[in-house]
């Protein structure tokens, strides 16, 4: 997001409707240019880009997905007609448009988002601890059992909010363990604690925290730089002219001959897509090796 339009993500399960009503009453809600409903009963409202970047937990249940003119601070959002599991029913459901955004040029004189932009700027200045407090707070209605079809999604969302707030991996580990105790464990379909912690480690390895965050990724060598996401312009000339050669995983071959690790960074190859529990077993196996110098 952030190119022409920003997205206001309202999650009623976590107090988003109340946050929206409060901001509307304060006269700071921008002119809405398009609207969609999410599979979990939330809404996405599209507004003219504020040029201040993205911010989760601006208010309880209210996130902003946007971007800055220099390409930083971009936020990711799913658009209709994407299909995802509903976090309320556990069933597959669509993102659906209620009102499509305009296909014509936006009003250059639309300044209705200025007050909200200032609120987001202030939120971006909040110390990491305050961001963590907001992101990790779960309302009383969320203390019910997390259904089997929602466990991975809820843990990933929660871990991402902690990473974005700047929490250290060790401290986030404690919070995710507490969240795991709310996960349903039906007979024949358990959700091991190690799988939840693997999701947490995966989030901390793949995504950068805020500048100056005290968070250890645990990645070897320069792997963190290789996996750090970036919205900066990328040189795609080798892809376009057909000369691009991606790294081929050659280590820890599966029974079908497909390797899981590339020799350079020692990070599980995303193209090989080992399940989270398998990646955990790989790490356990590697730690059990006795490394000796030749």
The edge-to-edge listing of strands for the beta sheet with 43-48 is 55-59, 62-65, 5-10, 43-48, 34-37, 96-99
- Mean pLDDT throughout 45-64? 89
pLDDT of residue 6: 95
Which pTM was predicted? 0.49
To which residue do tokens 């604690």 refer? 193
**Cα 40-45-49 angle, rounded to 5 deg:** 135
Sign of the CA dihedral running 76, 77, 80, 81: positive
Whether the ω angle into residue 256 lies within 30 degrees of 0, i.e. cis, is: no
140: Cβ contacts below 8 Å, ≥ 6 apart: none
Query: Could you tell me if 44 and 36 are in contact, meaning their C-beta atoms sit under 8 angstroms apart?
Result: yes
pLDDT of residue 5: 93
pLDDT of residue 127: 52
**Which 3 state secondary structure label does DSSP give 92?**
strand
Which comes out higher in pLDDT, residue 53 or 286? 53
What is the tens place of the pLDDT at every residue in 248-260? 777 777 788 887 7
What dihedral do alpha carbons 86, 87, 91, 94 form, nearest 10°? 0
Residue 33 confidence (pLDDT) above 90:
yes
Choose the weakest-confidence range: 7-11, 89-93, 222-226: 222-226
**Which 3 state secondary structure label does DSSP give 48?**
strand
Percentage of residues in the chain with pLDDT exceeding 70? 73
């Amino acid at each position: 997001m952030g190119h022409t339009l920003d997205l206001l993500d309202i999650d009623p399960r976590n107090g988003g409707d109340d946050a929206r009503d409060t901001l509307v009453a304060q006269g700071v809600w921008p002119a809405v240019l398009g609207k969609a409903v999410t599979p979990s009963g939330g809404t996405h409202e599209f507004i003219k880009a504020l040029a201040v970047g993205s911010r989760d937990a601006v208010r309880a249940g209210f996130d902003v997905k946007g971007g800055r003119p220099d390409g930083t601070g971009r936020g990711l959002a799913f658009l209709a007609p994407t299909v995802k599991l509903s976090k309320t029913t556990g069933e597959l459901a669509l993102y659906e448009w209620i009102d499509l955004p305009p296909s014509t040029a936006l009003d250059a004189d639309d300044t209705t988002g200025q007050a909200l932009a200032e609120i987001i700027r202030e939120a971006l200045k909040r110390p990491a601890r305050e961001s963590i407090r907001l992101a990790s707070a779960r309302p009383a209605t969320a203390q019910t059992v997390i259904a089997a079809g929602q466990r991975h999604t809820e843990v990933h969302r929660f871990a991402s909010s902690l990473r974005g707030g700047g929490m250290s991996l060790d401290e986030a580990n404690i919070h995710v363990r507490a969240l795991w105790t709310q996960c349903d464990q039906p007979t024949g379909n358990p959700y091991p604690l190690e799988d939840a912690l693997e999701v947490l480690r995966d989030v901390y390895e793949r995504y950068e925290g805020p500048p100056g965050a005290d968070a250890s990724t645990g990645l070897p060598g320069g792997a963190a730089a290789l996996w750090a996401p970036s919205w900066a312009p990328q040189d795609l000339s080798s892809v376009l002219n057909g000369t691009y050669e991606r790294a081929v995983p050659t280590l820890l071959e599966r029974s079908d001959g497909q390797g899981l690790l590339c020799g350079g960074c020692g990070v599980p190859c995303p193209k090989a897509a080992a399940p989270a529990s398998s990646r955990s077993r790989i790490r356990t196996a590697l730690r059990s090796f006795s490394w000796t110098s030749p």
